[in-house]
Chains A and B, each alone.
Chain A
Amino acid sequence: MRAYFRGVSLIVVVWLAVFLAGCQGVAKRQPDALFVALGGEPGLRALVDEFIAVSAPDPRVAPTFAHTEMRRFRQKFYEHLCELSGGPCVYSGDPMAEVHRGLNINEMQFNAVVENLQIAMARQDYSQPTQNRLLALLAPFHGDIVVE
């Protein structure tokens, strides 16, 4: 009788585990390989902090960031990178064109941001393919950001 009860419990537990895992799979889609390669949420949050640390003393971009509310930037940039890389996030900020309107960002400043991101990614020890794949997802925003 005891053995029978233990057997039923085990089946219920396994069934519950499978059911819950299945529910999670429905509610939250499996994060993409790139998001995982970037270290998930802690990795991307660390990347954003590293990027800010590299950019703060950079005279090419510091004047633009001087007008930026950094706490908000920190959170929105994280959300954007998380969503783009296939993580379980939704970017809640404004469209890129709107965010950068009036900042008069030129080619030199855009490239400086790309370069600082490359430096920050290298400091995070991301592999070269991981770095390039993230850049490839960001490159299409060039037209929304740079004033020709």
Chain B
Amino acid sequence: MPSAAPVFAAALLLFGSAAASAGGQLLATGGVPTIEGTAGGGVVPWAVLAGYGTSDEWGGNVYYSNLDTGDYRLDVAGGALTINNRVEFSVARQSLRLSTLGPALGLGAIRLEQDVYGVKARLAGDLIYGDWPQIALGVQHKRHRDFAIPAAVGAVDDSDTELYLSATRLFLAGAGGYNLLLNAGARYTRANQAGLLGFGGDQGRSAKLQAELSAVVLLNRHWAVGADYRQQPDLLGFARAEDWKDVFVAWFPNRRFSGVLAYVDLGDVATLRSQQGWYLSLVANW
């Protein structure tokens, strides 16, 4: 997606110069955008909603992310709008470049694209206060823009809609005096590699519940370190799919901007062994 970077730069300028308040929530409590557009911890959605708006404010963000394992390069540009800290609407365009697989198939360094449209609603609880963790229910509709490769490897459908439920809580002084954020979620999915290789396959067409977990320690108001774990369905016979893991450092200099640097381990992906690489994400909030 060559057009993403200039658009993002323009958005940064726009939001950076906007006079409006950046929302009333505490720094870092909006999480960061996931590769699917919704707020969370990089690859795992949390029950928090994008941006820093409180119950009588609107919030949101735009972002650009890049993950490069050498064999694959994923570019994501997206954004989210949250209304009254109750409902979040998100959109993401994912562009996956098959640097190794494409030439191996005689197709050159081809790219495939997927769009993800999401809605997430906060059902109950609060991230920090009260007796209950924050609980949110989300839905993601994923749609391929070019299905040739996923179809060639056995994927059944080029679009699908999946549900997930997340519970997230920040424990003040919960980790040796440092604030600890824990997230546990379940996604009802049949997406191959989060849908980048289509939905369903020769090994099964039906969705299953998959766990999505995160743990984060906030070093102070501006820095956090954490890890994500995301289970993957394994429905394509031509290659084994493995669970995703990452460790990350997130930086929240102010409510307007945040950045994430992660090291991601996708396991084996479409016959290519042990896909690991750096992930960088830049976010502008309002």
Contact of B178 with A108 in the complex, beta carbons under 8 Å = no
Chain A residues near B85 (CB, 8 Å)? 107
Interface presence of A111 (CB below 8 A): yes
B100 within 8 A of A: no
Given contact pairs A60-B24, A114-B26, A128-B219, A106 touches B177 in the complex (Cβ within 8 A): no
Given contacts A60-B24, A139-B172, contact A127 B55 (CB under 8 A): no
**Residues of chain A within 8 A of B6, CB atoms compared:** none
B268 within 8 A of A: no
Give bound CA distance, A142 to B26, whole Å: 14
**In the complex with contacts A128-B219, A139-B172, A106-B55 CB distance below 8 A:** yes
Chain A positions within 8 Å of B177 at CB level: 127-130, 132-133
Cβ-closest chain B residue relative to A135: B172
A129 touching B26, Cβ below 8 Å = no
Name which residue of chain A comes closest to B131, CB basis.
A143
Residue A54 interfacial (CB < 8 Å): no
CB proximity of B134 to chain A, nearest CB, Å = 13
Please indicate the chain B residues that have their CB under 8 angstroms from the CB of A107 in the complex.
24-25, 54-56, 85
B92-127 vs A, Cβ < 8 Å mask (1 yes, 0 no): 000000000000000000000000000000000000
A94 to B124 alpha-carbon distance, docked (Å): 30
Of B25, B55, B219, B221, the contact of A118 (CB 8 Å cutoff) = B221
Closest B residue by C-beta to A136: B172
Which B residues are in CB contact (< 8 Å) with A89?
A: none
Asked whether A115 and B27 contact (CB < 8 A) given A106-B55, A139-B128, A139-B129, the answer is yes
Q: Are B173 and A142 in contact, with the CB atoms below 8 A?
A: no
Chain A facing B: main interface SS: helix
Question: Does B220 lie at the interface of the complex (its beta carbon under 8 Å from any beta carbon of A)?
Answer: yes
Task: List which A50-91 residues lie within 8 A (CB) of chain B.
Answer: 60
Q: Which residue of B lies closest to A132 (CB)?
A: B173
B57 within 8 A of A: yes
> A135 with B24: in contact, given A108-B54, A128-B178 (CB under 8 Å)?
no
Q: How far is the CB of B25 from chain A (nearest CB, A)?
A: 6
Among candidates B54, B179, B219, residue contacting A106 with C-beta atoms closer than 8 Å: B54
**Shortest Cβ distance from B23 into chain A, in angstroms?**
8
CB distance from B219 to the nearest CB of A (A): 7
Instruction: Kindly list chain B residues whose C-beta atoms are within 8 Å of the C-beta of A127.
Output: 177
Cβ-defined contact, B129 with A143, below 8 A: yes
Q: What distance in Å separates the Cβ of B28 from its nearest Cβ neighbour in chain A?
A: 11
Q: Is the CB of A132 within 8 A of B24?
A: no
Q: In the assembled complex, which residues on chain B have CB atoms less than 8 Å from the CB atom of A143?
A: 129-130
Q: Mark B133-145, 1 if CB is under 8 A from A, else 0.
A: 0000000000000
Q: Which residues of A contact B (CB under 8 A)?
A: 60, 106-109, 111-112, 114-115, 118, 122, 127-130, 132-133, 135-136, 139, 142-143, 148
Beyond A107-B85, A108-B23: 5 further Cβ-contacts under 8 Å? A60-B24, A107-B24, A128-B178, A129-B173, A132-B172
Can you sample 30 A-B contacts with CB below 8 Å? A106-B54, A106-B55, A107-B56, A108-B24, A108-B25, A108-B54, A108-B56, A108-B57, A109-B24, A111-B26, A111-B54, A112-B24, A114-B26, A115-B26, A118-B221, A122-B221, A127-B177, A128-B178, A128-B219, A128-B220, A129-B173, A132-B177, A132-B178, A133-B173, A135-B172, A136-B172, A136-B173, A139-B172, A142-B130, A143-B129
